[in-house]
A and B are shown apart, each in its own frame.
Chain A
């Protein structure tokens, strides 16, 4: 790739100490684009997202952002974890969770100032959660919880947004809101990369699809990659298309909705 602007992965392999869950992934994501990572359960979608930030115990290869190593500019990346990995009993309010996204901008030992509170307020309004700002996070619905974490990503003022299954287990309102947000972020020049199970919605919303099964099977615009051979290579014989709530969800084998950390 001659383009050095955006997020670039070069030969990235990552795992958890028992072999690589993702191997030799090279891909270039331009600024102002939305990419959906698609693959069966355990195919390494989460691992790929985490590897970008070197959050897995084992990582090889290089990740750069706008031509410089990502490690030198980690604050430019916002990461939204899978909802299952969060301790929802933790005694914090929605507003406090969002404020955590500002921690790096605030700096060590310092307290949040008016600008930080304003940013948090604005982000809560944007995800339609301002009315619930003071509620303990466990008291929120799944969609609301997801929106709180989206707001937290927004206040980071990041250039890259990594989201691990943001659409899983959320209501329609939240799903639409996430779609709108992606469009806005794209317009603002951000690079968005999210893991999803919903192939149909991804084909509608994303500029690029990244099919993953322990390696990158295919990457490109939906028109070029949403093809029978790619689907077959990604999902094997376990492809399952369910027609519920108007979407065709594509699942790998097994009944687990969510990919484990591995």
Chain B
């Protein structure tokens, strides 16, 4: 029992747990879109490209979220301009500019005296150093993200599943895509505080992918992704607290372990279930079922 209550005696630990729960829930929920829209590479690019914005805002004491959004938008603009001609494709342009933006951040931060500590904090997160203001910012981002995803659920789902129909119906596809990328960016910014630039991708992808292995519907996937995100974050932090491991790394490893368990043991999509499904007897049973269905092509 003291294993559970020990960390609660420290204010920094309590803050870390609150922060990682907020971040885990938001990343897990929006991760459903990252999975179905195949935005993993884009998410990685965003997390790197917002880095200089966060660094500059951090140094001059401006809004970290604002700095990140400006840096993200400038990078997106550069990618759009360079890849427009068609000679340099978009993925190459993304590769060039997200690394460049990241390099800008590294160079700027190297001019500071506390270079090592600052850089490490951004790269692998700094859960121990979460302030009350950080928690407020994260909570605001989380609430706005959830409100946007809930209010525009119908539209975002349509544009994600069938862009042609969305376009045919006259929906502003670019605007909806842009909005999704903006909430993804703000989510990434609060996530960087928790697990850092290098590991944030795991929080966006892994819990949602685990959820996808367990459910076959989009909203349940979002909710379950959020739950798994919180579970990975909070339990991961506890483990790191007691064992003295790096919190970001522990959280990601726990999320990965949950994924692997689901990958093997998921009742519907797991390896074991798959083995059963392809068992000869089972196959015969399925064939019988299929034969009874009219209109099977």
Contact = CB atoms under 8 A, between A and B. Distances in A.
A173 B157 contact: no
Interface stretch (B72-80, B99-107, B148-156): B148-156
Most chain B beta carbons < 10 A, residue from A90, A96, A112 = A90
A224 B294 CA distance: 37
A92 B217 contact: yes
Contact of B170 (A75, A90, A100, A106): A75
Interface in B143-166: 151-152, 154-155, 157-158, 160-162, 164-165
A147 B295 CA distance: 10
B217 A91 contact: yes
B157 A79 contact: no
A92 B218 CA distance: 6
A109 B151 CA distance: 5
A108 B164 CA distance: 18
Contact of A100 (B36, B151, B152, B165): B165
A53 B217 contact: no
Nearest to B216: A136
A159 interface: no
A24 B221 CA distance: 47
Contacts of A144: 295-297
B157 A100 contact: yes
A232 interface: no
A100 B162 contact: yes
A142 B162 contact: no
B297 A171 contact: yes
A85 B294 CA distance: 25
B169 interface: yes
B1 to A, nearest CB: 39
Interface residues of B, number: 28
A103 B155 contact: yes
B285 interface: no
Most chain A beta carbons < 10 A, residue from B155, B162, B294 = B162
Interface residues of A, number: 41
Contacts of B221: 91
Contacts of B157: 92, 100
Interface in A159-179: 169-171, 173-174, 177
Contact of B296 (A55, A128, A143): A143
A92 B154 contact: no
Given A53-B168, A74-B168, A90 B297 contact: no
B169 A74 contact: yes
A87 B161 contact: yes
B296 A171 contact: yes
B260 interface: no
Contact of A90 (B161, B169, B215): B161
A77 B168 contact: yes
A259 B215 CA distance: 34
B296 A141 contact: yes
Interface in B243-297: 293-297
A115 interface: no
A141 B297 contact: yes
A16 B161 CA distance: 22
Interface of B: 36, 151-152, 154-155, 157-158, 160-162, 164-165, 167-171, 212, 215-218, 221, 293-297
Given A90-B160, A91-B221, A128-B294, 9 more contacts: A87-B161, A90-B161, A91-B218, A92-B157, A103-B158, A110-B154, A141-B293, A141-B296, A143-B297
Interface of A: 50, 53, 55, 74-75, 77, 79, 81, 85-87, 90-93, 96-97, 100-101, 103-104, 106, 108-112, 128, 136, 141-144, 147, 152, 169-171, 173-174, 177
